[in-house]
Structure 1
Amino acid sequence: MGPSTRSAQGRTARSRRTVIAYRVIDTVAGLEAACAALQSGTGPVAVDVERASGFRYSAKAYLVQVFRRGAGVFLFDPPAIGDMSPLQRAIGDAEWVFHAASQDLPSLGELGLTPPTLFDTELSARLLGWPRVGLGAVVERTLGIVLKKEHSAADWSTRPLPQDWLEYAALDVEHLVDVRDIVAEELDATGKREWAEEEFEEVRTRAPKPPAAEPWRRVTGVSRLRGRRNLAIARALWLARDRVARERDLAPGRLFPDRSLLAAVAAQPSSQGALSGVKAFTGRASRTDLAVWWAAFEEGRTTTDLPAERVPSDALPPVKAWAGRRPEADARLKTARPAVEAHAEFLSIPTENLLTPELLRRVSWEPPQEVSAEAIAAALMALGARPWQVAQTAPVIARAFVRAAQADTDASEAGS
């Protein structure tokens, strides 16, 4: 069955769709009944998660959607249910199908839900070189069905959830197994199935990032502040905002945004009233909790524990500084980058999926002593590249490094 036939069937199926009243499962009894149905279903299981990013402090799941052939769609309310382990037991042996699994796995992990294997339709679309890889675009390309995406940024902690939101959530998984089958055929036809499986496993087993030692330094624009005292005030305001946000389960930016934090530091108010008068200090809690923010400001202004203006980092220097600091590394990167980009275009894969720019920068900055495909391959593996990425890029990079070194030699000889 060709894509056009599938698309026609998809459009016909959509035109015949009847209105469905979706129900959220929010009891243990409902969970157990749904799990029995899912266990009797067949094949892979489509899974998706809805959070309340930008509304709530946590990134926990407020809705988990599951679909399996022979069972149907189920919408679970994890905060109301509590223990979700029956769902893990019901579907734990099946392949789980996601669209952009890396976004959902942390929230699922908090619920004790972990896939034994997974298939990622978004990542597959990237490896296939499709120009649009959002769920709506991929469903339309493969099935000819147009999904409504107007609730993607909704506050999913809302209760009760409106029916149109529930329909949106259900459609995120209802077609995903059909999409998976078509995408898998494309991966097989293009010889990229093994590459995709390596990527899926890396996503599935990826360790969470360790918490930042000083998360307040991630305030947008904080690097523009000068002086340790100003940094101390910014830190105190951030810590106060974070504490209140956690207590109220609100996204910190909903209390007051980063730009207001920096505006308060820049204004250097001399009193609580003066802080209230800073026009740029805005937000839903900028005035209602003014005493809390002023106490934090005072703490930052009087503390003897001043943060360092610069912190140690293993980050590489900005690429624009390489020519002056390490010209040979600059030459390697400028020769290797277009070579890798050309190979990515040949493979019809986005360059960042073939090899992340950070890995190319690191191997260019500190290459192995022996410039060979084997040595470059070992260096890339040590940096975390997948075997398929190494096989495709190590020879390309090695040749580029040799060309860069030869060009440097030729330039030196010409100038002597």
Structure 2
Amino acid sequence: MAKPFRTDVSAPVLITATTELQAFCQRMHGETFITVDTEFMRERTYWPELCLVQIAGDNEVAVIDAQADGIDLSCLGTLFADTAVTKVFHAARQDIEIFVLRFGDVPRPMFDTQVAAMVAGFGDQVGYDALVSSLTGGTIDKAHRFSDWSVRPLSAAQIAYAAADVTHLRDVYMRLSRRLEQEDRLGWVAEEMAILNNPATYRANPDTAWERLRPRTNNRRLLQTLKQIAAWREKEAQRVNIPRQRLIKDEALLEIAATAPATAEALARVRGVTRGFAEGKSGSALIEVLAAARLVPDAELPAGPQQRDNARPSAALVALLKVLLAAKTEQHHVAPRLVANSDDIERLALEDSPDIGALHGWRREVFGHDALLLKQGRVALGVDGRRVKFIAI
């Protein structure tokens, strides 16, 4: 049976008026920490459409209807800026994007229990349901996970579902914090939160949109064209407020960069581009961008992807470093992905001292130092029963 609420917390309250929200926020300013979640819709829009904000204090939980007629959410921005109150999220990135767009900054200070769980050894990107079950014994009712949160009125079951997340999150946060404090790892979490605490993380930069497409080419003219049309797509999707993939899919954008059609007829021949789009306002604008890209002088074209002098790391060394990573993160009870990714491992195998996260801070203590010793032949790996052991040479 689901356990939606702690017995010492009052039933959730639905807030639909500014005066009610202001009174609630005033009470929350007196809390040491609050837990926060949102429900939003984004399937049909570029910008997330905020539907609900859920907040729990020590003894009360509110579900705030962000679409209620006339409601003013500005007091939430004031609460999120109160540095005396820690704002706790799970997998915060999309929630924070909404608040940065609305209030201009991230909530401060902030704690993400998904990041903390990875530091505490719960694995890579542990799900909220699994974390609640492991730490509190509670269960999350999944019945309304795919609700259309923009439809009104909200049912009692939807309100209870929305509130349950932040109620359980209080217990998750307190138990994780206690555990990390005992293991002297709260500093590790703070280091990981640096990216999430930067408002620039949540602001799309049209000029770098092309990098997400990972073009596999050194053709500088094609890269310039891709850069310009990807920037155009991002701005156009923002302007008309539709998902970028609904405007033009990635595959079609790469094909347009490669073929650089100069007419609506040629653009319509690209797979995934309709004649209506090609002959319409957006198609005309895209053709103009393509024409401008052709005029960029060769000297101003972007460089191709960085090549590491065509060297390839030893597959055996990469495998050995991955074994070391698995063994060290198992020993320290921390998620491997948090310490080093595949690209880090390859660079470590190729270079003497690459500038990667695994060779800085707490990651160096957990893995990086021993990885360098392994490369230098000063430590070997063996097996002791069911565990990998480290043998000094």
TM-score for the superposition, normalised by structure 2 = 0.72
Q: Quote how far apart the aligned CAs of 1:389 are.
A: 2.0
Matched residue of 1:69: which SS? Answer: coil
Aligned to 2:116, which of 124, 135, 141?
124
Kindly tell me: are residues 311 and 53 of structure 1, through their superposed partners in 2, closer, same or farther at Cα, counting changes over 3 Å?
farther
Asked whether the equivalents of residues 340 and 358 of structure 2 are also in contact (C-alpha less than 8 Å), the reply is no
Matched residue of 1:202: which SS? Answer: coil
Asked whether the equivalents of residues 4 and 167 of structure 2 are also in contact (C-alpha less than 8 Å), the reply is no
Aligned to 1:23, which of 8, 14, 39?
14
Q: Quote how far apart the aligned CAs of 1:342 are.
A: 1.8
Corresponding position of 1:281: 273
Aligned to 2:89, which of 98, 105, 126?
98
Corresponding position of 1:171: 164
- Stretch deviating more after TM superposition (330-339 or 128-137): 330-339
CA distance in 1, matches of 2:262, 2:372: 60
Kindly tell me: are residues 195 and 64 of structure 1, through their superposed partners in 2, closer, same or farther at Cα, counting changes over 3 Å?
same
Q: Quote how far apart the aligned CAs of 1:135 are.
A: 0.9
Corresponding position of 1:36: 26
Kindly tell me: are residues 363 and 67 of structure 1, through their superposed partners in 2, closer, same or farther at Cα, counting changes over 3 Å?
same
% identical aligned pairs: 20
Q: CA RMSD in A?
A: 4.6
What number of residue pairs does the alignment pair up? 371
Kindly tell me: are residues 252 and 51 of structure 1, through their superposed partners in 2, closer, same or farther at Cα, counting changes over 3 Å?
same
Kindly tell me: are residues 391 and 265 of structure 1, through their superposed partners in 2, closer, same or farther at Cα, counting changes over 3 Å?
closer
Q: Quote how far apart the aligned CAs of 1:60 are.
A: 7.3
Kindly tell me: are residues 311 and 102 of structure 1, through their superposed partners in 2, closer, same or farther at Cα, counting changes over 3 Å?
same
Corresponding position of 1:55: 44
1:201-240 matches, within 5 Å, as: 201-203=193-195, 205-206=197-198, 208-209=200-201, 214-218=207-211, 220=213, 222-223=215-216, 228=221, 237-240=229-232
Q: Quote how far apart the aligned CAs of 1:138 are.
A: 1.1
Corresponding position of 1:342: 327
Kindly tell me: are residues 70 and 394 of structure 1, through their superposed partners in 2, closer, same or farther at Cα, counting changes over 3 Å?
same
Corresponding position of 1:3: none
Kindly tell me: are residues 161 and 21 of structure 1, through their superposed partners in 2, closer, same or farther at Cα, counting changes over 3 Å?
farther
CA distance in 2, matches of 1:122, 1:165: 24
Matched residue of 1:287: which SS? Answer: helix
CA distance in 2, matches of 1:254, 1:260: 11
Q: Deviations over 1:153-197 (max 9, x none)?
A: 7676x35474355444322212110122233344356x2544544
Q: Quote how far apart the aligned CAs of 1:225 are.
A: 10
Question: Is 1:398 equivalent to 2:387 in the alignment?
Answer: no
Question: Is 1:67 equivalent to 2:56 in the alignment?
Answer: yes
Kindly tell me: are residues 342 and 82 of structure 1, through their superposed partners in 2, closer, same or farther at Cα, counting changes over 3 Å?
same
- Stretch deviating more after TM superposition (338-347 or 238-247): 238-247
Q: Quote how far apart the aligned CAs of 1:270 are.
A: 7.4
Q: Quote how far apart the aligned CAs of 1:295 are.
A: 1.6
- Stretch deviating more after TM superposition (176-185 or 207-216): 207-216
Structure 1 segments unaligned to the other structure (5+ residues):
1-9, 369-375, 407-416
Corresponding position of 2:391: none
CA distance in 2, matches of 1:289, 1:22: 50
Aligned to 1:145, which of 131, 134, 138?
138
TM-score for the superposition, normalised by structure 1 = 0.69
Kindly tell me: are residues 263 and 22 of structure 1, through their superposed partners in 2, closer, same or farther at Cα, counting changes over 3 Å?
farther
CA distance in 2, matches of 1:33, 1:72: 13
Q: Quote how far apart the aligned CAs of 1:227 are.
A: 7.9
Corresponding position of 1:322: 311
